[in-house]
Structure 1
Amino acid sequence: MKDSSTATRLTQWLVRGIKTGNANRLPVVLFGIVTLGVYAFIEIADELAEGELRKIDEGLFLLLRSADDRSVPLGPPWLQETAVEITAIGGYPLIILTLAAVAGFFVVTKRYGAALYAMLSVGTGALLSQTLKNYYGRPRPDLVDHLDTVHTMSFPSGHALVTTVAYLTMASIIIGFLDNNRARIYVVFVAVFVAFIVGVSRVYVGVHWPSDVAAGWALGAAWASLSWLIVHLLRRKRPGGPS
């Protein structure tokens, strides 16, 4: 009984300060995203293992390159500089700084569960990314010079995966405190848009194949949704249910 009571208090502490939304619809939606995301990732990984993605990847990759000289990205020089700056949004330094600022806000407002949830979701997502990169060991694109410095393997895109997890996680916390549906849609749209432009920028600067980015988006959405679903289920176990 004592162990059970301790576990209950710990669960209550973990979810304190988090609002997860509709108690009936949300689990179904989140489970659907998890399922579709994992399925998409597995399908891409299978095609990668069979060597059937190379031609598709090269075709999509070269769409962002000049027809006269494929070593030159499409667009003026300022667009190349912008792409490098956008891709930095998904880098670990900025993700960590943003996460620290958000978690710090939750700590000073005594929403400790929200702070822990954000750090665990993003931290485990980053760990998952590195583990899969080492497992698949896919080399970076070799068709053009890279506009960004890279030190890890290519599949899946860590920028796409971690950015998707980070911004969807933060969005999930924010929308729990919003009553206006338009505001909720806007917050989710911003999170998805940031993940999208970061992923596209990785292909544009020449450091990822399109399939790397697609796999990162799929698994990132699945991981963020799974984290959100776990917190939602923990809240439902609280005395009195979700608020």
Structure 2
Amino acid sequence: MMRLNRVLTWLGSRERVVLCAVFALLGSIWIFAELADEVTDGETHELDRSVLLLMRAPNDVSDPIGPGWVEEMGRDITALGGNVVLTLLTVMVMGYLALCQRQRLALVVLVASLGSLGANTLLKQSFERDRPDLVPHGSQVYTASFPSGHSMVSAATYLTLGALLARAEKRRRLKAYYLLVAIIITLLVGISRVYLGVHWPTDVLAGWTAGAGWALGCWLLTGWLQRRGQVEPEVSNPVGLDEIPSDGRK
């Protein structure tokens, strides 16, 4: 009964935020389902083809738009969504949280990252969509196309890490900074996959949707675990400002 009271108290104090997150989670599931249905029926082919060709030189589809350094930059950005980079980042963030004595929150980060990777693998095996064949691939690929693994796993990982790091930070400007950086990196990784010709645009859109939904689910789960005392509570600013006064007065 005491645990139920804690959960109800949390819902009552943050009902708007929780309801918005729940509706956003349900919305992401609905959008993904609609995209999957359209892709399966082949109704997105013309749109995918048009957007993909927009990122190619008009007289040579094998040449991505922009000078050579832009293509190299695209490969660098797409690496931010690779398994090696995401694994290293997850381990480093877990180390940071452990040093801050938030070991259980670090465990949530581990579960979130591994879970998104597993979910993406299952989805790819379910749909088995072929990779784009209109243009040469600018990066090595080994799996099916839908949904984009780089887009989904990077969205799930970066958005989850951004949200959890924001919980561990008391200054509002840094909370916003964590979330903004996570969103920007997620968007750039997805765009780079289309630019390099290894994914259809709808693959990336589906990956973003599924990854964002996963991150929202992890955020809601973390809040629920906090109410049960299983995860360290969120840090809040006691003075309600971005910074504590420089003279140390509360």
TM range, normalised to the smaller chain?
Answer: 0.7 to 0.9
Post-superposition offset of 1:107: 2.4
**Equivalent of 1:102 in 93, 104, 107:** 93
Identity, % of aligned positions:
36
Structure 1 equivalent of residue 21 of structure 2:
30
SS at match of 1:130: helix
User: Partner of 2:80: helix, strand, or coil?
Assistant: helix
2:34 — aligned with what? 43
SS of structure 2 residue aligned to 1:71: strand
Task: Give CA deviations for 1:43-70 in whole Å, capped at 9, x if unaligned.
Answer: 1001011110111100011110111111
Distance (Å, rounded) in 1 between the aligned partners of 2:72 and 2:184:
19
Show CA shifts across 1:181-206 (max 9, x none): 34322221110100000000000001
Pair 1:119-2:126 in alignment: no
| Separation in structure 1 between the aligned mates of residue 189 and residue 157 of structure 2, nearest angstrom | 12
- Identify unmatched segments of 5+ residues in structure 2: 4-12, 235-250
Q: In the alignment, does 2:196 pair up with 1:205? A: yes
Deviations 1:159-217 (CA, angstroms, capped at 9, x unpaired): 00000011111111111133443432222111010000000000000100000000000
SS in 1 for 2:95: helix
Counterpart Cα distance in 2 of 1:135 and 1:27: 31
TM superposition score normalised by structure 1 = 0.87
Counterpart of 2:239 in structure 1 is none
Q: 1:184 aligns with which of 171, 175, 178?
A: 175
Corresponding residue number in structure 2 for 1:78: 69
How many residue pairs were aligned?
223
Note the 1:133-212 alignment, pairs <5 A. Answer: 133-212=124-203
Q: Contact conserved, 1:33 with 1:221, CA < 8 A, in 2?
A: no
SS of 2:62's partner is: coil
In 2: Cα distance, 1:45 partner to 1:78 partner: 34
Q: TM-score, normalised by structure 2?
A: 0.84
Code of the aligned partner of 1:144: V
SS across alignment from 1:90: coil
Partner of 2:206: 215
Task: Could you list the structure 1 runs, at least 4 aligned residues long, displaced by more than 4 angstroms after superposition.
Answer: none
Distance 2:229 2:161 in 1: 22
Aligned mates of 1:235, 1:107 — CA distance in 2: 17
Alpha-carbon distance between aligned partners in 1 of 2:99 and 2:166, rounded to the nearest angstrom? 20
Q: Which amino acid aligns with 2:63?
A: V
CA contact (8 A) 1:140 1:153 kept: yes
Q: Is the 8 A contact 1:23 1:242 kept in 2?
A: no
2:56 is matched with 65
Once residues 223 and 215 of structure 2 are traced to their aligned partners in structure 1, the CA distance between those partners, rounded to angstroms, is 12
Q: Spell out, residue by residue over 1:2-23, the C-alpha distance to the aligned partner (whole angstroms, 9 max, x if none).
A: xx9xxx8xxxxxxxxxxxxx73
State the partner residue of 1:228.
Answer: 219
* Partner in structure 1 of residue 237 of structure 2: none
> Residue 228 of structure 1: CA displacement?
1.0
How far, CA to CA, are the matches of 2:115 and 2:168 in structure 1? 24
Paired with 1:148 and 1:120, the residues of 2 have a C-alpha distance of 28
1:77-110 alpha-carbon deviations (Å, 9 max, x no partner): 0000000111000000000011011112222333
Structure 1: unaligned runs, 5 residues or longer: 9-21
Q: 1:115 to 1:242 in 2, by over 3 A?
A: closer
Offset of residue 24 of structure 1: 3.2
Higher relative contact order (CA 8 A, sep 6+): 1
